């Protein structure tokens, strides 16, 4: 009973919920600056971040021997050097489910906004131009290609079917029967998918395999007038290739929630690209998702710290 509490630091913006757990001291400071995180980290048994904090070698080395668990309040763990963390014996946990609906809804929002020229019409109307000549496109009976039929991609498929779209997906890691269960056609290759769709949305993690997966060659395979959505990770769709395909008019429109470097600098090529709708990595940013994410990651990290790795991992 006199044991010192296990200490957890939450250094990124989230809704951590009730922090009052017996045997634990949880310190929440959203947006903690990096120098302070590095300085204070040696006092903690666990660190919880979102994507803002880069858990790289420098940070892991700053931690010292006390740190055992790194929790990612969200799905993607691409901000964490997993190899180095494992070399140092750190357990890395994420919150794989809590924000899936929010992420999927944001992707569908970008799809619809792209189809109807939301960004463009908003901008023009504010600038005093009442442009009613613009024609968008209906999504009903169009084909949506989903790259990555995991938790988020599956929800996007369901919502797109609600819009009466045909859905085809490419995901070599998902068994045939999941496609059948979801009523989604299976594309054997990415090329096959791209050649068949009117719009494509990516829902994969950022890995070596998926970085630049949709580049100039892939975008050229889309039929003219297509839509591209990236609400997953910056760089899965090559940034320059996307801008080129928008500028040339090959693409009808696109929507992005993510950048290779976040936040983008004021001269980022996306900011002046035509027919591109942009949000600021807001896929997980709903009241509902953040409440669940905080609860999910805190409980997984505490369970792991208690040695209950089966619950945590």
Q: Which residues carry out catalysis? A: 233, 262, 281
Q: Does 284 bind ligand MLT (CB under 6 A)?
A: yes
Judged by CB under 6 A, the residue of 8, 41, 50, 165 near ligand MLT is 50
CB 232 within 8 A of CB 258: yes
If the CB atoms of residues 149 and 219 are measured against ligand MLT, the closer one turns out to be: 149
d(CA 95, CA 108): 22
If the CB atoms of residues 76 and 235 are measured against ligand MLT, the closer one turns out to be: 76
* Number of residues forming the site for ligand MLT (CB under 6 A): 9
| Nearest partner of 236 among 212, 261, 271, 262, judged by Cα | 212
If the CB atoms of residues 74 and 277 are measured against ligand MLT, the closer one turns out to be: 74
Q: Does 75 bind ligand MLT (CB under 6 A)?
A: yes
Binding to ligand MLT in span 94-113, by CB under 6 A:
99
Q: Does 281 bind ligand MLT (CB under 6 A)?
A: yes
Nearest distance from C-beta of residue 285 to ligand MLT, angstroms: 7
Of the ranges 70-78, 118-126, 216-224, 298-306, which one interacts with ligand MLT (CB under 6 A)? 70-78
Nearest distance from C-beta of residue 202 to ligand MLT, angstroms: 13
Q: Does 51 bind ligand MLT (CB under 6 A)?
A: yes
Nearest distance from C-beta of residue 23 to ligand MLT, angstroms: 27
Judged by CB under 6 A, the residue of 16, 74, 117, 255 near ligand MLT is 74
Q: Does 76 bind ligand MLT (CB under 6 A)?
A: yes
If the CB atoms of residues 76 and 145 are measured against ligand MLT, the closer one turns out to be: 76
Q: Which residue is nearest to ligand MLT (CB)?
A: 74
Which residues here bind ligand MLT, judged by CB under 6 A? Answer: 50-51, 74-76, 99, 281, 283-284
């Amino acid at each position: 009973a006199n044991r010192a509490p296990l200490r957890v630091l939450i250094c990124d913006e989230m809704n951590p919920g009730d922090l009052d757990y017996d045997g634990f001291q949880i310190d929440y400071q959203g947006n903690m600056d990096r120098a302070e995180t590095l300085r204070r980290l040696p006092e903690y048994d666990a660190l919880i971040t979102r994507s803002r904090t880069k858990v790289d070698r420098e940070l892991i080395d700053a931690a010292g021997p006390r740190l055992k668990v790194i929790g990612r309040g969200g799905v993607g763990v691409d901000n964490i050097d997993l190899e180095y963390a494992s070399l140092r014996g750190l357990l890395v946990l994420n919150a794989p489910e809590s924000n899936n609906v929010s992420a999927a809804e944001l992707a569908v929002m970008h799809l619809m906004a792209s189809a109807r020229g939301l960004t463009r019409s908003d901008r023009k109307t504010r600038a005093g131009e009442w442009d009613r000549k613009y024609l968008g496109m209906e999504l009903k009976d169009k084909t949506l290609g989903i790259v990555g039929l995991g938790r988020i991609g599956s929800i996007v498929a369901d919502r797109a079917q609600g819009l009466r779209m045909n859905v085809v997906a490419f995901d070599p890691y998902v068994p045939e029967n999941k496609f059948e269960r979801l009523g989604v056609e299976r594309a054997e290759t990415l090329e096959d998918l791209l050649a068949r769709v009117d719009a494509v949305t990516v829902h994969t993690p950022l890995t070596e395999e998926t970085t630049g997966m949709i580049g100039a060659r892939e975008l050229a395979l889309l039929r003219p007038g297509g839509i591209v959505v990236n609400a997953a990770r910056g760089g899965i769709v090559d940034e320059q290739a996307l801008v080129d395909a928008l500028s040339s008019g090959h693409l009808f429109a696109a929507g992005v929630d993510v950048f290779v470097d976040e936040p983008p600098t004021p001269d980022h090529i996306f900011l002046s690209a035509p027919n591109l709708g942009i949000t600021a990595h807001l896929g997980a940013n709903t009241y509902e998702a953040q409440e669940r994410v905080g609860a999910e990651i805190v409980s997984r990290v505490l369970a792991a710290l208690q040695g209950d790795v089966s619950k945590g991992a």
